[in-house]
Amino acid sequence: MCSPTGEQVQPHPADNDENESNAWFPWHLGACDAHCHPTDTMASIASIASMRARMLTIMATRSEDQDLVSSVAAQHGIKSRADLVEATGHIPCQVVPAYGWHPWFSHQFYADTDTAKESTFDPSGEIEAEKTKHYTAVLSSTPDAAFIASLPNPRPLSQFIAETRERLLADPTALVGEIGLDKAFRLPQGWDTNEAPKRDEGLTPGGREGRKLSPHRVKISHQETVLKAQLRLAGELGRPVSIHDVGAHGGLFDVLSSLWKGFEKPVISRRQRRMVAEGAEDFSSDEDLTDDESGKGKKQSKAEPYQPRPYPPRICLHSYSGSSETLRQYLDPSIPTQIYFSFSMAVNLSKDGQWDKFAEVIGACPDNKLLVESDLHVAGGQMDESLAQIYREVCNVKGWVLTEGMERIRKNYEEYLFGIFD
């Protein structure tokens, strides 16, 4: 069990709030939320300033929230790694923005970035006919005219990539996210004329908001095209990504592997290394080491300029829901990128019966690759509480006292955002 260590804790303004939970939590050590969506409820943004969490990584997902994320970052964003690392004590909660396009909205793009593929949409053609051609090609179960009419005119993927490149270049702390693959989701039905006036104006448009689901999914091949373009952008600019993966664990691994193919790290066994080093054979271990682990290799150096590559330098699999076997697949020492696994109460422990799998996966997750998140759509006390709870659960499984877990995860978070320096 996690337990307080009796450290001195500076009072926080919210300590007098009667609604706050009284359970002790070392907020002063800096709780870092690796993935959340406060811009879905813009009225909650004002509460970020009084939150106890230290950092929120705020995701954009669709057309309606890209500008909102950048406006919140302009108000609450950190400017550099130093702002995160050198801050001590009770610093007001700050944010790091992530710009990306979620797989739930991937049908809204037509692919014009991959010349080898036939485009599903010709911008010089008749718009209604081209729109029908596009949505019929990228959605499963042929959509009818009414459903197609409820969808926006498709946009060129290259245009979004260019806009996102500009946003990233304007903010050196920004990430790419939320991106990914989702085999399970279906598109919601369009708003019907009776329901539309009743929608909650406080919610950022574009989400499901309780609408009935249609039978249509976005074909995985199309989701992969949209995902790959964003992964390549992150690789070009050296930014970390936050990835959503529901039911597509094997497919996601294949997409990532296809991008880092040819860039794998050479794996040198301990035995080989000792033979080279000492001129003598050592049978004590055949454990494989990468160049990085052997201390000779390519950890990022502060002085070294980033070399663009086709895959992101750091990846967070957010609210990781795969098995411990799939997680181990990502620990292959030849993989040339840092892979982090993040966990939330909202996804990983929201239902009865999830604990055993959670404990097994957390047990398999390397201590230095573990992150936590709320994945919530509203900032404020609920987000703090959800974050405190997932810290407690993770610490419980790992056998860490809470202060140790906070410190480890804060370091992991900093390395995820900015890289592991020598």
- Binding interface with Zn ion (CB under 5 A): 178
Rounded Cα gap, residues 340 and 204, in angstroms: 29
Q: Is 211 helix (H, G, I), strand (E, B) or coil?
A: coil
Say if residue 325 is preceded by a cis peptide, omega within 30 of 0: no
Closest contact distance (angstroms) between CB of 370 and Zn ion is: 18
Nearer to Zn ion, 171 or 178 (CB): 178
Closest contact distance (angstroms) between CB of 197 and Zn ion is: 28
Residue 56: its H or E element: strand 55-59
Nearer to Zn ion, 112 or 373 (CB): 373
Nearer to Zn ion, 178 or 385 (CB): 178
Closest contact distance (angstroms) between CB of 180 and Zn ion is: 9
| Amino acid at site 208 | R
Closest contact distance (angstroms) between CB of 105 and Zn ion is: 12
Closest contact distance (angstroms) between CB of 304 and Zn ion is: 32
Nearer to Zn ion, 130 or 178 (CB): 178
Residue 247 contacts residue 183 (beta carbons within 8 Å): yes
Q: Show the tokens assigned to 154.
A: 């498709």
Residue 227 contacts residue 148 (beta carbons within 8 Å): no
Nearer to Zn ion, 77 or 103 (CB): 103
Provide CB contacts within 8 A for 241, sequence distance 6+. 100, 175, 176, 177, 179, 230, 231, 234, 312, 314, 315, 316
Nearer to Zn ion, 112 or 178 (CB): 178
Question: What are the helix and strand counts (H, E) for the chain?
Answer: 14, 12
Q: Is 238 helix (H, G, I), strand (E, B) or coil?
A: coil
Residue of closest CB approach to Zn ion: 178
